[in-house]
């Protein structure tokens, strides 16, 4: 039988297969990622050192004028303190509430835990843009629904609430921090080894003492690291400060960067905007550094282990009913802005919700919105944007993950770092930098520049997801294919990718949801031909066509829910089934 062995030896391979060799792919990846990530950063730095009012390519002059201007006025100091107070305040509130609710749902016998979990996990389907508009409709001092109601009920003369205050901004942001922090903390609370607590009980401590002396100290580092992470996110956040904060004259770094680059009047000041962007980037990097100092770099790829502890659940006793009521009231407040948008989407012209107005509700806005070529174009653009960027970025992320897990050479490490870098780059800064890079190219003004930006912004997430998935995949599965004669590319396509399809898909859905709800990218790069749903809503709101904007917003939320809800229900069911 050995005689025919030589006949079986592979003959010459097809000539193009060298294109699929891992080292070539690695180099190609490096180039692509460097262009995506480093390109904008370099141009941003260059622009910050260029004279104002010119594009960085069009000048050879270097000047520190922008930075001098920033550090000269005490305007900057106010801006910085406002930003920090804003981020700190909303994170304190949001993470505090999230920790409390996470403890209630994971470690006590509070009813409705599953509903709360699905609700909060699905909240990512709700664009911050829509929430911002909802709150404006609810509590603006003139005709905000709550204010009108309060006036009628209490006979007040001045408005009870106002959206145009620092506190409103903080509370609204806290509501958006809350679900994300809950998602991060939930795993922490449910995965805590209950034996540590049992040990306390065995030694005769009372429940409250155990909580104070054992549970809390164990959880503090986790809560703290989530807190720092959220500060990083809020400092980078743009949409809520933009929608809520601007009318109130509350400026934070991210909105300042945007307004300088896209002023409502006058010409863009790219130089100063870039210089502020560099400052914001510095702040974000500093926070990132603090974050990693606190949690250790190991945390970067931390995966929530499937280890199913059955934690001891605290009995709430007499507190059960009041606590449940308070928590559900909180969710009621969270939903209010959505309900307000929903209401508005059925009105012919905006009016405060009342029984009297009920008769005049109709679907007119929806049919009007769906009939207009503008909206149709926006929907098509959104679909293209979502499908293209989610697919591209997950694919890129998978490739990078493969090299950073399996190759581990110098090039692979550089790739890994480059792919992780966008985490520290605030999206608004990144997008303005991308604008500067591509403004003179034909890509600018098409939907593809949005795709490119989304890919860059989501690259870190995609890489992280696929990296943690790949580390759990036995290396021998891929090796087996290689020894069987498969080329690197075949092995990746036929073995690695199919085996990671679940993680790929859930990553894809996450990216899709976040891309379609995002306003930052479409707004900064907006031209008449690349309007997507988010920017269309913004334009209609600004026009102002509140009912039309509301109808589009409802459509967007519904579309997102269709994607997000089934996944979350399945995931929750799988979790409780395990």
Partner 1 sequence: MLKVSHLERTYPAQPGGAAVQALKSVSLSVEQGDIFSLLGPSGCGKTTMLQCIAGLETPDAGRIVIGGETVYSRDERIHLPANERGLGMVFQSYAIWPHMSVAENVAFPLLQRGRNPGREQIARRVDDALAMVELAGYGNRSATQLSGGQQQRIALARALVHKPRLLLLDEPLSNLDAKLRDTMRIELRRLIKSIGITAIFVTHDQVEAMGMSDRVALMRAGKVIQVGTSKEIYLNPHSAFAADFMGSGNLVACTISDVDNDRAVTTTPFGQIQAKVAAGLRAGDDAILVIRPNAPIIHTQPVDAQGDLAQIPGNVSSVTFLGEKIEVRVCLSGGYDFVVTMNTFEAPVEGQKVYLTLPAERCIVVHKDHPVSSAARSVDLEGLAA
Where on the chain is the footprint of partner 1 (CB under 8 A)? 1-2, 4-5, 8-10, 13-14, 17, 474, 476-477, 479-488, 490, 494-495, 498-499, 501
Smallest distance, partner 1 to C-beta of residue 476, A = 4
Give the Å distances, CA to CA, from 282 to 35, 82, 238, 276, 359: 21, 17, 17, 10, 54
Tokens of 152: 């009628």
Is it true that the peptide bond before 544 is cis, omega within 30 degrees of 0?
yes
525 token code pair? 């790069």
Q: Which is nearer to partner 1, 85 or 480 (CB)?
A: 480
- For residue 249, how far is the Cα from the chain centroid? 25
Nearer to partner 1, 68 or 501 (CB): 501
Question: What's the closest the beta carbon of residue 411 comes to partner 1, in angstroms?
Answer: 14
In the complex with partner 1, the residue whose CB is nearer, 4 or 58, is: 4
Q: Which is nearer to partner 1, 217 or 574 (CB)?
A: 574
Q: Which is nearer to partner 1, 461 or 492 (CB)?
A: 492
Taking the complex as a whole, how short is the minimal distance between the CB of residue 387 and partner 1, in angstroms? 24
The answer to whether 513 touches 560, Cβ cutoff 8 Å, is: yes
CA distance 290 to 416: 20
Smallest gap from residue 408 Cβ to partner 1 (A): 9
CB of 500 to partner 1, least distance (A): 10
Please, are residues 21 and 403 in contact by the beta-carbon 8 Å criterion?
Answer: no
The angle, 0 to 180 degrees and rounded to 10, between the axes of the packed helices 320-344 and 166-190 is 130
Residue closer to partner 1 (CB basis): 109 or 479: 479
CB 398, min distance to partner 1, A: 16
8 Å CB contact between 258 and 238: yes
Q: What are phi and psi of 314, to 5 degrees?
A: -70, 135
- The nearest distance, CB 392 to partner 1, in angstroms, is 23
Tell me the backbone φ, ψ of residue 69, rounded to 5 degrees.
-65, -40
Q: Confirm if 517 and 386 have CB atoms less than 8 A apart.
A: no
Choice between 58 and 476, CB closer to partner 1: 476
The total number of residues written for the chain in this structure: 578
CA distance 443 to 269: 22
Q: Reduced to 3 states, what is the DSSP secondary structure of residue 196? A: helix
Map 56-99 to HEC letters: HHHCCCCCCHHHHHHHHCCHHHHHHHHHHHHHHHHHHHHHHHHH
Please say which residue, 14 or 355, places its beta carbon nearer to partner 1: 14
- Pick between residue 304 and residue 477 the one whose CB is nearest to partner 1: 477
CB of 396 to partner 1, least distance (A): 22
Q: What is the CA radius of gyration of the chain?
A: 26
Shortest gap between Cβ of 402 and partner 1 (angstroms)?
15
């Amino acid at each position: 039988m050995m005689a025919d062995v030589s006949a079986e030896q592979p003959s010459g391979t097809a000539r193009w297969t060298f294109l699929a060799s891992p080292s070539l792919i690695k180099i190609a990846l490096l180039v692509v990622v460097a262009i995506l990530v480093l390109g904008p950063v370099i141009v941003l730095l260059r622009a910050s050192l260029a004279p104002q009012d010119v594009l960085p390519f069009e000048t050879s002059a270097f000047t520190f004028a922008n930075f001098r201007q920033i550090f000269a006025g005490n305007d900057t100091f106010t801006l910085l303190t406002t930003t920090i107070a804003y981020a700190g305040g909303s994170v304190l509130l949001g993470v505090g509430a999230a920790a409390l609710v996470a403890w209630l749902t994971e470690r006590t016998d509070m009813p409705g835990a599953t509903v709360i979990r699905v609700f909060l996990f699905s909240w990512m389907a709700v664009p911050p843009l829509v929430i911002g508009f909802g709150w404006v409709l609810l509590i603006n001092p003139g005709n905000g629904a709550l204010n009108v109601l309060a006036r009628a009920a209490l006979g007040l003369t001045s408005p009870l609430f106002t959206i145009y205050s620092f506190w409103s901004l903080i509370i609204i942001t806290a509501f958006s921090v809350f679900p994300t922090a809950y998602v991060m903390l939930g795993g922490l609370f449910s995965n805590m080894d209950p034996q540590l607590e049992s040990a306390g009980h065995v030694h005769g401590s009372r429940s409250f003492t155990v909580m104070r002396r054992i549970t809390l100290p164990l959880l503090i580092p986790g809560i703290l690291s989530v807190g720092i992470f959220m500060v990083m996110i809020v400092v980078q956040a743009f949409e809520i400060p933009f929608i809520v904060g601007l009318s109130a004259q509350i400026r934070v770094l991210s909105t300042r960067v945007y307004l300088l680059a896209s002023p409502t009047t006058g010409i863009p000041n790219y130089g100063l905007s870039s210089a502020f962007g560099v400052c914001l980037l510095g702040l974000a990097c500093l926070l990132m550094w603090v974050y990693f100092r606190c949690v250790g770099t190991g945390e970067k790829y931390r995966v929530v282990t499937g280890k199913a502890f059955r934690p001891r659940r605290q009995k709430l006793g007499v507190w059960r009913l009041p606590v449940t009521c308070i928590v559900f009231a909180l969710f009621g407040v969270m939903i209010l802005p959505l309900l307000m948008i929903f209401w508005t989407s059925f009105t012919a012209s905006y009016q405060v919700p009342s029984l009297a107005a009920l008769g005049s509700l109709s679907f007119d806005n929806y049919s009007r919105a769906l009939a207009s070529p503008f909206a149709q174009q926006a929907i098509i653009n959104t679909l293209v944007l979502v499908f293209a960027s989610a697919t591209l970025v997950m694919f890129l992320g998978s490739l990078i993950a493969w090299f950073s897990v399996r190759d581990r050479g110098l090039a692979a490490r550089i790739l890994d770092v480059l792919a992780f870098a966008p985490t520290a780059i605030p999206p608004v800064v990144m997008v303005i930098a991308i604008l500067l890079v591509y403004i003179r190219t034909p890509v600018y003004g098409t939907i593809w520049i949005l795709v490119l930006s989304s890919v860059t912004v989501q690259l870190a997430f995609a890489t992280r997801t696929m990296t943690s998935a790949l580390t759990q995949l036995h290396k021998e599965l891929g090796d087996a294919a290689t020894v069987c004669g498969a080329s690197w590319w075949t092995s990746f396509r036929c073995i690695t990718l199919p085996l990671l399809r679940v993680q790929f898909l859930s990553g894809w859905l996450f990216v899709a949801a976040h891309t379609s709800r995002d306003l930052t990218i479409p707004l900064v790069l907006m031209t008449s031909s690349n309007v997507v749903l988010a920017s269309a809503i913004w334009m209609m709101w600004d026009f102002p066509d509140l009912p039309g904007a509301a109808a589009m917003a409802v459509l967007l939320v519904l579309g997102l829910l269709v994607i997000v809800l089934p996944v979350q229900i399945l995931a929750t069911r799988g979790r409780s089934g395990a």
